[in-house]
C-alpha cells in the first residue's frame, strides 16, 4: 500500500511540470507566473553567478519576458521549459558580458575597460552544472542519496548498502533508476 501511495505522490509532480509547459505554450493567463515559479530560481541563480546580484534581477526579468514573447517557438517535445529558458539566459548573459566589456568603468578615479565576471565558456559550464543540480534535486530522496554516496563520496555499491542498511540490489536499482531519470531530464533540457 505504501508503494502505491509513493507512486501517486510522484505523478502530480510530473503532471505539474507538463501543465506548466502546456499552459506556457498556450499563453494562458497565469502561465508566465507559473513558469517563473517553476524555473525562476534556476534562471536567477545562473544570472547572479554569471553577472552579479546587481544585474541579475533585471536580466532574469528580460529572460522571462523574451521567453513569453517567443513562447510559440518553444516545443515541449524537444526539451524542457527550464532548458529552453537556460538557452535564452545563456544568450542574454553573453550579450550582457560583451556590453560590460565595451563599457568603460571608473576604477580608482581612472577609466578602464570592465572585466566580465565569467567568460561565455564559463557561463555554459555554469548553466550545465545548474541543470545537473536541478535534475538531482528532482530525484526521490533515496535515489539522490545513493547517487551522492556513489559519485561524490566515491563509495562502492556494497559500502552504500552497508552504510544505509539496504540490500545491495536495492542500492543498485536506486542508482540505475536515478541516473536514468536524470538523463531523461537533462536530455529534455538540452
Residues 98 and 147 in one domain: no
Q: Tell me, what CATH number does 127's domain have?
A: 1.10.1740.10
Residues 123 and 155 in one domain: no
Please name which of 62, 64, 61, 56 lies closest in space to residue 31, comparing C-alpha atoms. 64
Tens digits of per-residue pLDDT, 63-109?
999 999 999 998 887 778 888 999 899 999 988 888 877 554 544 44
Residues 20 and 107 in one domain: yes
Please name which of 63, 56, 58 lies closest in space to residue 39, comparing C-alpha atoms. 63
Q: Tell me, what CATH number does 150's domain have?
A: 1.10.10.10
Contact indicator for 81, 88 with CB cutoff of 8 Å? no
Q: What is residue 183's predicted lDDT score, i.e. its pLDDT? A: 87
Residues 167 and 82 in one domain: no
Sign (positive or negative) of CA dihedral 69, 74, 79, 80: positive
Phi and psi of 27, rounded to 5°?
75, 30
Residues 133 and 96 in one domain: yes
Q: Which domain holds residue 157?
A: 140-190
Q: How confident is the model at residue 182 (pLDDT cuts 50, 70, 90)?
A: confident
Residues 44 and 76 in one domain: yes
Domain termination site, one of 95, 117, 138: 138
Tens digits of per-residue pLDDT, 143-169?
999 999 999 889 999 999 999 999 999
Residues 43 and 78 in one domain: yes
Residue with more model confidence, 71 or 9: 71
Residues 99 and 179 in one domain: no
Residues 115 and 126 in one domain: yes
| Count: domains in the chain | 2
Domain termination site, one of 120, 138, 156: 138
Contact indicator for 74, 84 with CB cutoff of 8 Å? yes
Amino acid at each position: 500500500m505504501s508503494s502505491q501511495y509513493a507512486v501517486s505522490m510522484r505523478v502530480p509532480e510530473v503532471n505539474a511540470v507538463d501543465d506548466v509547459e502546456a499552459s506556457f505554450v498556450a499563453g494562458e493567463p497565469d502561465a508566465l507566473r507559473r513558469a517563473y515559479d517553476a524555473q525562476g530560481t534556476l534562471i536567477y541563480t545562473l544570472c547572479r553567478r554569471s553577472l552579479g546580484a546587481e544585474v541579475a534581477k533585471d536580466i532574469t526579468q528580460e529572460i522571462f519576458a523574451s521567453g513569453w514573447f517567443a513562447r510559440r517557438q518553444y516545443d515541449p517535445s524537444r526539451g524542457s521549459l527550464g532548458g529552453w529558458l537556460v538557452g535564452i539566459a545563456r544568450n542574454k548573459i553573453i550579450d550582457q558580458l560583451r556590453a560590460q566589456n565595451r563599457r568603460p568603468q571608473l576604477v580608482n578615479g581612472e577609466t578602464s575597460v570592465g572585466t566580465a565576471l565569467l567568460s561565455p565558456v564559463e557561463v555554459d559550464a555554469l548553466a550545465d552544472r545548474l541543470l545537473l543540480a536541478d535534475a538531482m534535486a528532482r530525484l526521490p530522496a533515496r535515489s539522490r542519496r545513493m547517487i551522492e554516496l556513489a559519485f561524490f563520496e566515491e563509495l562502492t555499491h556494497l559500502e552504500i548498502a552497508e552504510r544505509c542498511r539496504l540490500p545491495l540490489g536495492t542500492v543498485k536499482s536506486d542508482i540505475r533508476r536515478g541516473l536514468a531519470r536524470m538523463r531523461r531530464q537533462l536530455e529534455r533540457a538540452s
